[in-house]
Amino acid sequence: MVAVLEKSTETKLRISGAEAVVRSLLAEEVDMIFGYPGGAVMPVYDALYGFQDQLKHVLTRHEQGAIHAAQGYARATGKVGVALATSGPGATNLITGIADAMIDSTPLVCITGQVGSHLLGSDAFQETDIISISMPVTKWNIQVTKPEELPEALARAFYIAKSGRPGPVLVDITKDAQFAEIDFNYRKCEQIRSYKPIPKLNLESVKKAAELINGSQKPFVLFGQGVILGKAEQEFKTFIEKAGIPSAWTLLGLSALPTDHPLNVGMLGMHGNYGPNRLTNECDVLIAVGMRFDDRVTGDLKRYAKQAKIIHLDIDPSEINKNVKVDVPVLGDCKESLSTLTSLINTNSHPEWLQQFHEHERIEQEQVIKPEMNPQSAELTMAETIQQINKVTNGEAILVTDVGQHQMVACRYTKFQKSKSNITSGGLGTMGFCLPAALGAKLGAPEREVVAVIGDGGFQMTIQELGTIFQTQAAVKIVVLNNNFLGMVRQWQQLFFDKRYSSTELMNPDFIKIAEGYGIKGKTISERKDLASSVKEMLEYDGSYLLEVCVGKEDNVFPMVPSGASVSEVRLS
């Protein structure tokens, strides 16, 4: 690939490659990076020292914390997140977060130090071939061995990370390239020959899609994070309102449409709502917008929406027909695609079809939601904890979740009014994601309340990032839903393995004492009478706060589509 660079932002300076890295970040308007220093990246850290007033560096306690924090920052702000690490174990510790960002389409630029170019391939101290390791989980990567290549490599990295379907890129820089000097002149990348991040919209495809929608009696929209990434929230809302189509969200699509919108019928997938799952196999036209037909959404593909004509709007050609064969593909930026499609559809409504969703919602309310919110039950539930947080935040907070039962409950019950409010690990399902991601989200959006909801298992995977919260004084509100189990695995063991709880029960430490050791105020509750006042106290506290809520040990999450089942076989118990 040959980059076409425009928009010079610097006059020529004679500086080191390390300083060129820092000045390149500033030219890309980066204001915050997350990282952990080490020998092979020390020249960059030395260069950072002189730019502390322009570029804030957040020292995490582990490189995995740095990459997840960069993800949280990117998801909350819509900007490119930046992570910085040394070679060898520093670089490999980024890989989980890079893979997470790749599958969840999060724009990241990861910069790693590398041993000197004369040592490459010699098994030198802390040498790892991070280019080969990261290749399957990056949108693009490059190793820079000559300092004069640095500005163009970084310009290209930022362009690729944020253009089209976003994703992570990695720039690996040898130590000698950091020390050597160059005449620095940075130009932002605006185009790369042979790389076409946004497909040209095919008007004939849009017309075919409009014809199907106009002729449908039971249309159904599935929307994903593509709506948020494409900044198309208003266009999407206009589209469904004109067509009067019930719309359900994927895990990452949550918050693209206000939760209380009359056409928002809930969550898709394995632990999604009853109606959206069952009625997927009853609609006559299925319109997928910015989602990838993940297996957790579709269940058994052989029995997925076989009765429906399927329209798929996406920016990534590789997603078309990858899992579900579609009748009308509409490739392009969804902001443009939706706007064009809306101009061609008829104004319509489908009250009888929408009523079917309401009827399924009533059944779920009676059989699942009321029991979970039962004030007479012996133990506190995850659901009522989330409901209480909702009452205080009024749907205005950013919710960050880890992975497991608490994630499904939090995403099903949290109410949202604003986009970019739900931050979670979707496709990779990374335990340990939440705490550092919440930190990154709060630092990126300090004006917003950030609530981290974590299980006791995932919390302990990156618990050391309490130290970063302490050092940055980020006012993250942390809710640990503690059932002394790896809850989601335990639920499967209960339902499908005859309650053989193999290696899932946890003996947990005193989380409040640990938080206090980091200067973070905390409190544990186990009784319902303390819930409302404790949530209020946490959210009103001026600073970070950890609220541990002890919930039922065998508190399960329903509805549930068992693995390998059809979405029509969703279980309520």
Provide the annotated active-site residues.
Answer: 63, 125-126, 175, 488
Q: HSE on the CB side for 75, CA within 13 Å? A: 40
* Calpha distance 315→331 (Å, rounded): 5
In the chain, what is the greatest distance between 2 CA atoms, to the nearest angstrom? 72
- Residues 162 and 52: their CA atoms lie apart, in Å, by 25
Q: How far is it, in rounded angstroms, from Cα 426 to Cα 369?
A: 24
> At a CB cut-off of 8 Å and minimum separation 6, what does 492 contact?
none
**3-state DSSP percent of the chain in helix, strand and coil, to 5:** 40, 20, 40
- Where do we find the tokens 């970019």? 420
DSSP 299-351: BSGGGSSTTSEEEEEES-GGGTTTSS--SEEEES-HHHHHHHHHHHSPP---H
Q: Are 91 and 82 in contact (CB under 8 A)?
A: no
Element spanning 77, H or E: helix 63-77
Please choose, from the candidates 160, 157, 158, 150, the residue with its C-alpha nearest in 3D space to the C-alpha of residue 186.
150
Residue at token pair 């880890």: 402
Contact 424, 467 (CB under 8 A): no
Distance CA 571, CA 573 (A): 6
Do 167 and 139 form a contact (C-beta atoms < 8 A)?
Answer: yes
Q: Which residue has the tokens 């500033």?
A: 26
Peptide bond into 559 cis (omega under 30): yes
Q: Which residues contact 217 (CB under 8 A, 6 or more apart)?
A: 284, 350, 353
In contact, 379 and 271? CB cutoff 8 Å? no
Residue partners of 29: CB distance under 8 A and separation at least 6: none
- DSSP per-residue string spanning 346-415: PP---HHHHHHHHHHHHHHIIIIIHHHT-TTSSS--HHHHHHHHHHHHTT-SEEEE-SSHHHHHHHHH--
CA 40 vs CA 15, 91, 157, 177, 178: distances in Å: 19, 10, 20, 11, 9
Contacts of 294 (CB under 8 A, 6+ apart): 250, 269, 323, 426, 427
